Amino acid sequence: MNAIISASALAGALAGPNPPVLLDVRWQLSLARAAGEPPFDGRAAYAAGHLPGAVFVDLDRELAGTPGARGRHPLPGLAEFGAVMRRAGVSSGTPVVVYDGGQGWAAARAWWMLRWTGHPDVRVLDGGLPSWEGPLSQEEPTPREGDFQPVAGPGLLDADGAAALARSGVLFDARAAERYRGEVEPIDRVGGHIPGAVSAPTTENVTSDGRFLPAGELRARFEALGARADTEVGVYCGSGVSGAHEVLALAVAGIPAALYVGSWSEWSSDPERPVAVGADPQ
């Protein structure tokens, strides 16, 4: 099953006999806001207009635990995540489509968490809300309680696993290249990258309107960066959000990959862990 869905295909699915549950996960990471500018409010954006029937899910509060030593967006507890998904109407036998404001990072985080915890049918709306040509709604639905029970699965890396994979397979760094090289670091303690990691900014996986490149182009890109059919692949980013977007791009390309959720925010918080700088992975 394809990991993404077009707006036209979603419209057809919503009109079908088994319409998907819709999750609105609008969120933005703002590195440099203008003085006095308030932070992005995903719930307010949802209230102003969303896909009819969609339920808002808060990335910071419901798709992540408390920031700390495990990173800025550590995983929430499985029980808490399951309760959020059931309240949103998610059941194991019902398809789910996730969307955000178009960047795709937040939607990919929800996609990855549902897939990692065992949901068999979840996709991301390619291009997000801007790709939708149908009507929007300001009505907040009250979905029937779902039955989804999350179970942790494979595909999750910790810091030691990421370090090992950078030596034995391919570990992609999904952040901007200048953060990978250590030239700038607007958020975390220090700039640079995990030794052995390969720079692969996730922004290069999409077109200017936020839609993913064709699967063949994505596959060619990742193969050129070292991801072969017999290679174990992992991804990290700043805090496990844009990295999920790269895992999604790899899935579109037909390449399975694990995610280091703690990512650079966890790695760089420990002064005992080595840091590489410059364009060379080593």
| pLDDT tens track for 195-209 | 999 999 999 999 999
Classify domain 156-267 at the CATH topology level. Oxidized Rhodanese; domain 1 (3.40.250)
Give ∠ CA 278-280-281 in degrees, rounded to 5.
110
Q: Which residues are CB-neighbours of 104 under 8 A, at least 6 positions away?
A: 124, 128, 206, 210, 212, 245, 248
Residue 34 has pLDDT above 80, yes or no: no
Question: Per-residue pLDDT averaged across 240-258, rounded?
Answer: 97
* Whether the domain at 4-131 and the domain at 156-267 fall into the same CATH topology: yes
| pLDDT tens track for 69-85 | 999 999 999 999 999 99
- Mapped onto helix, strand or coil, the DSSP state of residue 212 is strand
Residue 282, pLDDT score: 86
* Euclidean distance between CA atoms 198 and 230, whole angstroms: 17
In the set 98, 237, 249, 257, the catalytic residue is 237
- Mapped onto helix, strand or coil, the DSSP state of residue 89 is coil
What residue ranges do the domains of the chain occupy?
Answer: 4-131, 156-267
* Euclidean distance between CA atoms 194 and 105, whole angstroms: 21
CATH classification number, 4-131, choose in 3.30.420.40, 3.90.1150.110, 3.40.250.10, 3.40.50.2020:
3.40.250.10
Active site residue 237: yes
* Residue-level length of the chain: 282
Amino acid at 118: G
Quote the tokens at residue 79. Answer: 């029980």
